[in-house]
Amino acid sequence: MTQDLKQAFKQKLAESGLGFETLKVFGSIRLNVHVTCTSRDTANKWAQLLAQVFKGSKPTLTPTLWEAKENKGGCLNQTMRNGYLITASY
């Protein structure tokens, strides 16, 4: 799959109206989609959307942590954000 097709697919997913922190579309042999968001309801909606887009694929929804853009703690106590990682591949 070419980079232009991946970029167009990412744009279509971004226009779905669902919120997200990050949205990544990548892969050379198979198409992989990784979405992070903070709300459980939104994560469930992303999983349903990806299940409809990738027929026969079962998206995974995993609780995760990532570093905040602005660190308000020290170097030993970094500011972290809680959320969910939704992955799907086809």
Into which CATH architecture does domain 3-89 fall? Roll (3.10)
Distances (CA, A) of 68 to 24, 27, 77: 18, 26, 12
Domain boundary assignment for the chain = 3-89
The pair of structure tokens assigned to 47 is 């999983």
Cα 82 from Cα 78, distance rounded (Å): 13
pLDDT digits (tens, 9 = 90+) for 34-51: 999 999 999 999 999 999
The pair of structure tokens assigned to 18 is 């669902």
pLDDT digits (tens, 9 = 90+) for 4-26: 888 998 999 999 999 999 999 99
